Structure 1
Amino acid sequence: MPTRTSPWNRAAASDTMAAPPRDVTAAVRVEEAITFRRLEILLAFMETGNLARAAEKLDTSAVSVHRALHALESGLRCALFRHEGRNLHPTDAAQALAEVAREVLRGMTEGIRSTREVAGYSADRIRIGSLYSLTHQTVPALVMGMKLRKPDVQTELVLGSNADLLQKLRDGSVDAALMGSPESAADVESEPLFEDDIFFAAPARSRYAALQEVDLSACAEERFVSLSEGFVTYGGFLESFRIAGFTPNVVMKTGDIFSLMNLVSGGIGCTLLPGRVRSVMPQDVQFIPLQPRYLMRQTIGLHFLRTRERDPNLLALLAVCRLARAKPL
Structure 2
Amino acid sequence: MTPHIDDEITFRRLEILLAFMETGNLGRAAEMLEISAVSVHRALHGLETGLRCALFRHEGRNLHPTEAAQALAELAREVLRTMAEGVRSTRELAGYSADRIRIGSLYSLTNRTVPKLVMGMKLRKPDLQTELVLGSNADLLRKLRDGAIDAALMGSPDQASDVESEALFEDDIYFAAPMGSRYGGMQQIDLGACANERFVTLSEGFVTYSGFMEAFRVAGFTPNVVMKTGDIFSLMNLVCGGVGCTLLPGRVRSVMPQQIELIPLQARYLMRQTISLSFLKTRERDPTLLALLSFCRTSKADLG
Residues 242-286 of structure 1 show CA distances to partners (whole Å, capped at 9, x for unaligned) of 111111111111100011111111111110000111111111110
- The answer (yes or no) to whether the contact 2:113–2:303 under 8 Å persists in 1 is no
TM-score (norm 1): 0.90
Instruction: Please report how far the alpha carbon of residue 319 of structure 1 lies from its aligned counterpart in structure 2 after TM superposition.
Output: 0.6
Q: Deviations over 1:88-138 (max 9, x none)?
A: 121111110000001111111111111112211111111000000000000
Question: Does the 8 Å CA contact 2:199/2:227 hold for their aligned counterparts?
Answer: yes
Distance 2:48 2:216 in 1: 75
Amino acid at match of 2:17: L
User: Do structure 1's residue 137 and structure 2's residue 112 form an aligned pair?
Assistant: yes
Match of 1:251 among 226, 234, 241: 226
Q: In 1, Cα distance between the equivalents of 2:205 and 2:303?
A: 27
- 8 Å Cα contact 2:178-2:242 kept in structure 1: yes
How far apart are residue 84 of structure 1 and its match? 2.1
Q: How many residue pairs get matched?
A: 304
Residue of structure 1 in register with 2:247 after alignment: 272
SS in 2 for 1:287: strand
Structure 1 or 2, whichever has the larger Rg, is 1
Provide the secondary structure at the position in 1 that maps to 2:45. Answer: helix
Distance in 1 of aligned mates of 2:272 and 2:142 = 23
Match for residue 153 of structure 1 among 125, 128, 132: 128
Displacement of 1:76 after TM fit?
1.4
How far apart are residue 85 of structure 1 and its match?
Answer: 2.3
| 1:51-87 deviation line (CA, Å, top 9, x unaligned) | 1111111111111001111111122122211222222
Aligned to 2:11: 36
- Structure 2 distance, partners of 1:327, 1:243, is 33
CA RMSD of superposed structures (Å): 1.1
Equivalent residues in 2 for 1:277-292, closer than 5 Å: 277-292=252-267
Cα distance in 2 for residues equivalent to 1:48 and 1:327: 52
Q: Secondary structure at the match of 2:285?
A: coil
Q: Secondary structure at the match of 1:261?
A: helix
**For residue 9 of structure 2, what is the amino acid of its counterpart?**
I
Match for 2:39 among 64, 67, 72? 64
CA distance in 1, matches of 2:28, 2:237: 70
Name structure 1 gaps, 5 residues minimum. 1-23
* Cα distance, 1:207 vs structure 2: 1.2
TM-score w.r.t. length of structure 2 = 0.98
Once the two structures are superposed, the pairs formed by residues 71-82 of structure 1 within 5 Å of their partners are 71-82=46-57
User: Unpaired segments of 5 or more residues in structure 2?
Assistant: none
